[in-house]
Amino acid sequence: MSKRTRTTSLERHDLTGWLMAGPMIFLIFMFLVLPFVLGFVFSFTNQRLVSPNPTQFVGMSNFEQLLGAGILVRQPETDANGVLKRDANGDLEYQSIRSYTRNNPDYPQYEGMKEFAGFDWGDAKISFVVRDLVFVKALLNTLAFVIVVAPVQGGLALLLALLINQKLKGMNLFRTIYFMPVVMSIVVVALLWRFIYAGDHGLLNSILGFLSLGAFKPVDWLGNAHTALWSILGMSVWQGVGFHMVIWLSGLQTIPVSLYEAAEIEGATNWQKFRFVTWPGLRNTAVLVLIVITMQAFALFAQVDVMTKGGPLDSTQSIVFQAVQRGYVKQDIASGSAISVILFVLVLSISLVQRYLTRERT
Amino acid sequence: MKRTVFLCGAILSAGLFAGNAMAQTELSMWYHGAGNKVERSIIVGIINDFNASQSDYTVKLEEFPQAAYNDSVTAAALSKKLPDILDMDGPNMPNWAWSGYLQPLDIPESKLANFLPGAIGKWKGKLYSVGLWDAALAMFARKSVLEENGIRIPTLDKPWTKDEFDGILAKLKATGKYDYPLDLGMNDKGEWYPYAFSPFLESFGGDLVDRSTYLTAEGALNGDNAIAWGNWWQSLFQNKYAPGTSESPSDQQTGFLDGKFALQWNGNWNAVKAMDKFGDDMLFLPAPDFGHGPKIGAASWQFGVTSESKHPEGAAKFIEFAIQDKYLAQFSDAIGLIPATSTAAALTKNYAPGGPLASFFDLSKAQATLRPVTPGYTFISPTFIKVAADIADGADVTDTLDTAVDSINADIEKNDGYGFKN
């Protein structure tokens, strides 16, 4: 009976409740739900940022443009007698990929495609060709970035948290120092690291040169296609590690001291304490940290925008950088939206997989 | 209740007073230079003079920081809140005109007869914008360095040729005195690229887009001439004649002044600094001729009237008022820009005939080339930035140019020809 009265009393205040939630619901709708829905709709149109032309639905063409791919097999060229042609070095001759993918009416399916990778198969040359090489590179770069950042940043953060969780003097100082990069704007951090990574007289090169007594040859960290992405990654880990350290720390502090005391009595080593007390106690924290890092890593943008603009040779293109580049700089909102939708599907599916893998097993 | 009545009365009377004060028609105006005190004082001076000179209109100024300016205009246009008068960066004008932000500017041709070509914004035969100034690029060099190495000082009539220029770079490189013989400012991956580098491409005989139709870039950006440009461009970085895309920003600012570079491709806005440092030794040389004439970029910020203005005649009147020689000269003296007319140049400290920067005025007059006058320029510009950066980083020249052509053509197609299809 009393329960029933409570419910009706709450129901009576329905309107008040909605009114109180109203502003927030409105804001969430305006700035989260609406843009999300619009992005989804735009990705199937030819919407421009500004244009006097009417918007039209174009079906899947934005996605086909981004993800279109094919396999091109080239046989060696033969002369009129069917004999294989060879060049001066005795190597077989092939028609260039360009001759298939540009203005060749015989192969309309390859029009405008670019070679992404290729290998030899007997005498034939087999090439993977893609319609949008830059986007494919952005996709792969981002995936590589995520795969490396998630364990490295998470692990490093846990290590720092364990170090800092000890009851020693001056721990607050270290906490502050590790957390400081998180508070700084990523744009400022990226600008500063540009100087650290500078090619000739940068800080990093100078330090490495000094430590190796001059044996180290200066590397143009951001100007070299092999090092640029990893340089950005190193900086990102440094910048973000403090944040995840704090999350780990909060997890560590929820583990009851009595468990450690019990382990101590049982004669457990430090490693056993970590393995059987700390780690199981951090389970939920670990899931959270992993998912947050993954999502942040997929959103890689500011570092790229400030430090390399996707270069050199597309080695640091990222999905979000391409979405902004197309949707905003090139005013092609439709294409930018399509990239965002692809990113959304990607992040959603990876999060679901992560959730499944880290589920509570009973 | 009593209070409500009082309130109503107050609002009503406030409205009436405001009405009295607004016997003149108010024209709103947006300007991109927020934060720059000198620019502001001149603009406000022009506006005050205009407001005092007649009784029909009053112009009211609103300023924006440059970085947020284009976004603000786009946002205002989408929500139909554009002012009467806008200023805009020259190459953006066709896009804004096509998008319907602007209306043609009604200023008699005779008033513009003496203007530098880069200060006039025309699209499809109609005048949309006028600038009070232009900017120009030159090869910064030091007389002593050139003489020391036996390098001919080029003139407007006889600029360096491609082979001569390559020889000069090799010679300067061989001295070993400089980090690089030439600085191009490659770290500035923005509008600097098309502004500073696409004129080289044009001097080679290529172009960003086929300007006869504006419907394709095929042949212009990937023809033999463009490929020749790409190979030459790549050679600059392969031979270590110029620092590449990872150049540190500070080197671009001070490298030439510190003697790290022998030559620098730079704008008139940095000329005063260089002159202060090197005095009479400083030279501002014309662009090399790569086969199709020496060329430099043109068009800077310009004024126009928006489509939403209900008083275009008043707005045009203001712009006509603002392009008087004395204001052009004021701007030039204050922030070092090239005045848009020769008569105004004669009034300035730097650009008067025989003045220290007079060569820039002549450069602007003789070599200035507009970036493609098409609404599609907003797409072409970032595409070219990527082309120039990738080729500098060592990408395959032909492939890079082909890719750029494909994406520019696809964009033109997507936009139904940007109004050129008829």
> What ipTM is given for this predicted complex?
0.81
Q: Which residues of A touch B246 (CB under 8 A)?
A: 198-199, 220, 222-223, 308, 312
How confident is the prediction for chain A on average, in pLDDT? Answer: 87
pLDDT at A311 exceeding the cut of 80? no
Q: What was the pLDDT predicted at A9? A: 57
A199 touches chain B (CB under 8 A): yes
For the four alpha carbons of A284, A290, A293 and A294, in that order, the dihedral sign comes to: negative
In this structure, chain A runs to a length of: 362
Chain CA centroid to CA A84, Å = 47
pLDDT tens string B31-73 = 988 777 888 888 999 999 999 999 899 999 999 887 778 888 8
Give the nearest chain B residue to A308 (CA atoms): B246
Asked if A98's CB is within 8 angstroms of B246's CB, the reply is no
Of B99, B402, B410, the CB nearest to A52: B99
B76 touches chain A (CB under 8 A): no
Mean pLDDT over residues A315-325, rounded?
93
Give whole-number Cα distances, B25 to A105, A355, B101, B395, in Å. 62, 64, 21, 57
Q: What was the pLDDT predicted at B146? A: 93
Asked if B382's CB is within 8 angstroms of A52's CB, the reply is no
More confident position, B74 or A40: A40
Mean pLDDT over residues A173-197, rounded?
88
pLDDT at B21 exceeding the cut of 60? no
Mean pLDDT over residues A171-177, rounded?
86
What is the helix (H) or strand (E) element at residue B323, kind and residue range?
none
B189 touches chain A (CB under 8 A): yes
pLDDT tens string B385-419 = 999 999 999 999 998 999 999 999 999 988 888 88
Contact criterion met (CB below 8 Å) for A327 and A337: yes
Mean pLDDT over residues B239-252, rounded?
86
A225 touches chain B (CB under 8 A): yes
Give the nearest chain B residue to A327 (CA atoms): B379
Q: Which residues contact B119 (CB under 8 A, 6 or more apart)?
A: B130, B131, B132, B133, B134, B299, B300, B302, B340
Of B246, B383, B403, the CB nearest to A199: B246
The pair of three-digit structure tokens given for residue A352, joined into one six-digit string: 């679901």
Give whole-number Cα distances, A122 to A72, A74, A93, A263, in Å. 15, 11, 14, 64
Mean pLDDT over residues B172-177, rounded?
92
Pairing of strands B261-267, B180-183: parallel
pLDDT tens string B65-102 = 877 788 888 888 888 899 999 999 889 899 999 988 89
Asked if B98's CB is within 8 angstroms of A198's CB, the reply is no
Q: What was the pLDDT predicted at B17? A: 44
pLDDT at A81 exceeding the cut of 90? no
Pairing of strands B296-297, B368-369: parallel
Contact criterion met (CB below 8 Å) for B367 and B286: yes
Contact criterion met (CB below 8 Å) for A247 and A253: no
Of A50, A195, A308, the CB nearest to B248: A195
Mean pLDDT over residues B95-113, rounded?
90
pLDDT tens string A93-146 = 888 888 888 878 888 888 888 888 888 888 888 888 888 889 999 999 999 999
Closest CA to B303 of B84, B25, B36: B84
Mean pLDDT over residues B134-154, rounded?
92
Asked if B402's CB is within 8 angstroms of A46's CB, the reply is no
Angle, in degrees to the nearest 10, between helices A171-183 and A228-254: 130
Give whole-number Cα distances, A283 to A158, A269, A276, A279, B76, in Å. 12, 21, 11, 7, 50
More confident position, A4 or B321: B321
Percentage of chain B exceeding pLDDT 70: 94
Q: What was the pLDDT predicted at A43? A: 94
Asked if A46's CB is within 8 angstroms of B414's CB, the reply is yes
pLDDT at B338 exceeding the cut of 80? yes
The distance of B223 to chain A (nearest Cα, Å) reads 14
Contact criterion met (CB below 8 Å) for B377 and B348: no
Give the nearest chain B residue to A312 (CA atoms): B393
pLDDT tens string A199-215 = 777 889 889 888 988 78
B238 touches chain A (CB under 8 A): no
Closest CA to A292 of A338, A251, A350: A350
pLDDT-derived band at A6 (thresholds 50, 70, 90) equals: low
Percentage of chain B exceeding pLDDT 90: 53
Chain CA centroid to CA A330, Å = 22
Q: What was the pLDDT predicted at B269? A: 82
- The terminus-to-terminus CA distance of chain B in angstroms comes to 66
Closest CA to B39 of B269, B319, B331, B245: B331
pLDDT at A166 exceeding the cut of 90? no
pLDDT at A5 exceeding the cut of 60? no
The size of the A-B interface in CB pairs under 8 A is 75
Which of B93, B414, B422 to probe by mutation at the A interface, max A CB count within 10 Å?
B414
Q: Which residues of A touch B77 (CB under 8 A)?
A: 50
A91: buried, middle or exposed (CB in 10 Å: 19+, 13-18, 0-12)? exposed
- Considering the entire predicted model, what is its pTM? 0.85
Give the nearest chain A residue to B415 (CA atoms): A53
Instruction: Enumerate the β-bridge partners of residue B301.
Output: B89
pLDDT-derived band at A77 (thresholds 50, 70, 90) equals: confident
Q: What was the pLDDT predicted at B14? A: 46
Contact criterion met (CB below 8 Å) for B222 and B409: no
Chain CA centroid to CA A35, Å = 21
